A = this chain, B = another copy of it.
Amino acid sequence: MDPKLKAYFESTLKEVSIDCVIFGFHEGELKVLLLKWKGTEGWSLPGGKIYLEESVNDAAVRILQERTGLKEIFLQQFYTFGGNDRYKNMDKAALFRKLEWAFGADFYDEKYMKRHVSLGYMALVEFEQVVATPDWYTDECMWCEISAIPELLFDHNEMVEVALKALRRQLSYQPIGYNLLPEKFTMPELQRLYETILGKQLDRRNFQKLMLSYDILEKLPEKRTGGAFKAPFLYRFDKEKYDRAMREEILFAI
């Protein structure tokens, strides 16, 4: 095995790791960042290990930064996966044969390849700002529409589902959008975001009234020009009020 990889294994927790469901919003679609494992056709969520003296939240921030280049974004734990059958839908032997081919004959070492508990973190990122970067295990990145996710390695399909459910639930008591949209955005864009996450259509006029009633948006004098049809106004989140709404968990009746 590569000595650097070995050193990484030695300096990190062995039984615990982190997997991130990184949500981005682009062209009216909610997408998730996936990585393709070297030497295989298998895709997985971005993940990583925790250094011995690192808090798990710090590790999640670090991993997210390594994969997207972004710091200070919305990132939170949503569930911890600790089934003893997390490989159940896979041909584990075949996978590890391929991985040994890519990483060296002693990659599959019992010392490192123990049963893992995985902390699921979800991140909401501004799609345009992400510079997706593969990690040690992987050689390709892909933004995949939430509705067209292929079969993933391990229990990562379940992770995406649980993350999405947590995200939807969160929508009912916290605002969303600050980390998923560019600084300035239009009301229809915000609505599209909500519709995509919730998976249902919303009334244009009622949505606007509701959003404005929460008093977290600032209407700008500018409009989004260039597009076809009537130019919509631009809005911006009032960060202070937005953060307060996040903290106080105001009920968002949507």
Verify A84–B14 contact, CB threshold 8 A. no
Which chain B positions have C-beta within 8 A of A251? 172, 253
Verify B50–A82 contact, CB threshold 8 A. yes
Which chain B positions have C-beta within 8 A of A59? 82
Cβ of A69 under 8 Å from chain B? no
Which chain B positions have C-beta within 8 A of A83? 55-57
Which chain B positions have C-beta within 8 A of A55? 82-85
Say which size band chain A's interface belongs to.
Answer: 20 to 34
Assembly CA distance A15 to B12 (angstroms): 11
Contacting B at CB under 8 A, from A163-186, are 169, 172-173
Assembly CA distance A13 to B57 (angstroms): 21
Cβ of A218 under 8 Å from chain B? no
Contacts A13-B15, A57-B82 hold; do A52 and B115 have CB atoms under 8 A apart?
A: yes
Contact with B along A42-68 (1 / 0, CB 8 A): 000000001011111111000000000
Which chain B positions have C-beta within 8 A of A253? 251
**Shortest beta-carbon distance, A38 to chain B, in Å?**
27
A117's contact among B16, B79, B115, by CB below 8 Å, is which? Answer: B16
Cβ of A141 under 8 Å from chain B? no
Cβ of A40 under 8 Å from chain B? no
Assembly CA distance A59 to B82 (angstroms): 10
Which chain B positions have C-beta within 8 A of A173? 169, 172
Q: Which residue of B lies closest to A165 (CB)?
A: B249
Assembly CA distance A172 to B59 (angstroms): 31
- By Cβ-Cβ distance, the 3 closest A-B pairs, closest first, are A56-B82, A15-B15, A80-B80
